[in-house]
Structure 1
Amino acid sequence: MESPAADAASDDAMDAFLEKFRSQPYRGGFREDQWEEEFEKIPLFMKKAPSEINPQENPDLACLQSIIFDDERSPEEQAKTYKDEGNDYFKEKNYKKAVVSYTEGLKKKCADSDLNVVLYTNRAAAQYHLGNFRSALGDVVAARKLKPCHIKAVVRGALCHLELRNFAEAVSWCEEGLKIDGKQKKLLDTRVKADRLKRMAQRDARKATLKGKKEQDGNETLIQAIRARNIRLVSGAAGEDEDEDSASEGPGALFLDGSNTENPYGARVSLDEQGRLGWPVLFLYPEYAQSDFISSFHEDSRFIDHLTVMFAETPSWDLEQKYCPDNLQVYFEDEERAELYRVPPENTLLQTLQHARYSVKALTPAFLVCVGSSPFCKNFLQGRKVRQVK
């Protein structure tokens, strides 16, 4: 039994200890306004773990992680832990991390085939949400190798085929799944949608085939009409003559497909119901580096007719107001001989295109126009061999 003196000493020590905390609060305590943040720093109470764990900075967390993923545990236990982790990430819509977790689970190569099926199927779902439909499809195929009747794998496979526009395969997967579960709503809905899209795709394919055939026939008709007029075609890129032995492979056919026309307006040579040609024609004004483009110059139209319409009003770049139809001279260039040919304004386009020295580049005839009496025109023609078109 302690003496009264000892009891008094003990009481004094306790009073001193309590008095110390009254004047110096416990520094390790939680602040009332930050208690949630403080709890989050404790591994046992963490809601989310850091993406990377440094053992030196977070020794407690690293210890817990080593306990969870202890290599001494069976592959099945480790795979299940990764599956659960992946499911948590999936619920949070963190599909990338979910894919990583499911992948780590599959790497354990556990003997539980049902668990592997779930890992494959769940990873497929995460990949699907990331838009990686081919990867997702690969996973459901792997899952069905282990368990052919796994309905979730079948559903996700059908959805992947639908997104990849493999409509026939999507219908097939739906049919297989409905043999397993004839009332599976997702499969019933997907089959209806896939079958409708399959029929639409087949219809569009038939239309595209007919359109392509019609365009090909139209192109061949145009080429034949051009050749019947003895008009010389050359490739705008190569500057070489069209192959006379091929009506479908020469430069004419090349530029008739619409995707290779060299004029920036996309206009094409056309054939009307009376069998007359309309050409996209380019007029170049070298004095001012200007141009005019006529989308359809009828082959029977005269140059003077178009010039009269184009210069009915003075263009903004003609500051001297000298570009009047009666003052203009039209030329085309024979690059092969380095010669210029002057075209009479009363000539039709067809007469000019049929000239022995005229070559139509990329199915777009081009002509130079300048004011005959101007100093520029005289300088432009000086030193050049100029011939008159009859």
Structure 2
Amino acid sequence: MTDCAAALKLNPKNVKALFRSAKALAALEMYAEAIDCCEHALINDPDNKAVREEQKRIQAEFDIKEAKRKAREERERKIREQKLKIESALEKRGIKTASTPGYTKNHPHDIQVHDETGDISVPTFILYPEHNESDFVQAFHEHDTIGEQLAEIFYEPAPWDSQHKYRPEKVDIYFETEDAGGNVGLMKVGLKVKLITILKHQKHILKDQLARLIVVPKEDSQWKKDWLAKYGK
């Protein structure tokens, strides 16, 4: 670039220097300047095929990078827009949220805000701690009841449920609570309770944009005894 600049200073119409400058500028992704060098070279030598081909190559490279830039910006715009829409929907409903320490989103599903109604659907983990198993509901609609969702999940027995204890009418459902002092507990809910009722509960915190429900058999179990002894009812 230094040699080219010196040559152009001596002779601004030096086609070879303009050609070399164009290639060097393109390598630095200074496409507008590179194309300008080609145009000046072609003014002085309109039939120079090498310069014309280089101009086409630079323009094509610029067009590709520009298209990628615009696509990236559009994706980022949509992400920001979606984030604001979700935050607004949660705030409107008075749903408390938090991120756990070190949280980085590692699931591909967002809270959905339905354009037609403004309703939300929330990604939800259904946890079965007695078996160390879980189900993931991608979009649990806020106005669906716990019973409706469990009826769908338990339509066929899970492979690990050999005793068929996991039916809507045979289980207890809990969600985790946390008070202002950080004390954690469990609250039992019935099958007719809607998800939104849980989400809006004063002691419920939606962590990492995921709802969590704990499901255990009504029948007595050591896990249930230990859990309730620790957290209380």
**Which interval holds the TM-score relative to the shorter structure?**
0.7 to 0.9
Q: Which runs of 5+ in 2 are unaligned?
A: none
Matches within 5 A, 1:103-182: 141-148=1-8, 151-182=15-46
Higher-RCO chain (CA-CA 8 Å, sequence separation at least 6): 2
- Which position in structure 1 is the counterpart of 2:225? 378
Identical counterparts, % of pairs: 23
Of 343, 347, 353, which residue of structure 1 is paired with 2:193?
347
Higher strand share: 2
Aligned mates of 1:235, 1:167 — CA distance in 2: 43
After superposing the two structures, state which structure 1 stretch, 166-175 or 196-205, moved more: 196-205
Of 325, 335, 342, which residue of structure 1 is paired with 2:168?
325
The amino acid of 1:268's aligned partner reads D
Matches within 5 A, 1:1-390: 141-148=1-8, 151-199=15-63, 201-202=65-66, 205-206=69-70, 208-209=72-73, 212-237=76-101, 260-261=104-105, 264-272=106-114, 273-335=116-178, 336-375=182-221, 376-386=223-233
- Deviations 1:104-140 (Å, cap 9, x if unpaired)? xxxxxxxxxxxxxxxxxxxxxxxxxxxxxxxxxxxxx
CA-atom RMSD, angstroms?
2.6
Partner SS, residue 356 of structure 1: coil
Partner SS, residue 47 of structure 2: coil
- Deviations 1:154-208 (Å, cap 9, x if unpaired)? 3344234445543212212212332443322121122234335545655654555
- Alpha carbons of 1:202 and 1:345: their partners in 2 closer, same or farther (altered >3 Å)? same
Tell me if the contact between 1:168 and 1:194 (Cα under 8 Å) persists in the aligned partners: no
So what's the TM-score if we normalise by structure 2?
Answer: 0.83
Aligned mates of 2:77, 2:184 — CA distance in 1: 41
- Alpha carbons of 1:265 and 1:220: their partners in 2 closer, same or farther (altered >3 Å)? closer
Q: Which runs of 5+ in 1 are unaligned?
A: 1-140, 240-259
The amino acid of 1:221's aligned partner reads K
Tell me if the contact between 2:4 and 2:20 (Cα under 8 Å) persists in the aligned partners: no
Paired residues in the alignment total 224
Aligned mates of 1:352, 1:322 — CA distance in 2: 24
So what's the TM-score if we normalise by structure 1?
Answer: 0.52
Aligned mates of 1:337, 1:161 — CA distance in 2: 62
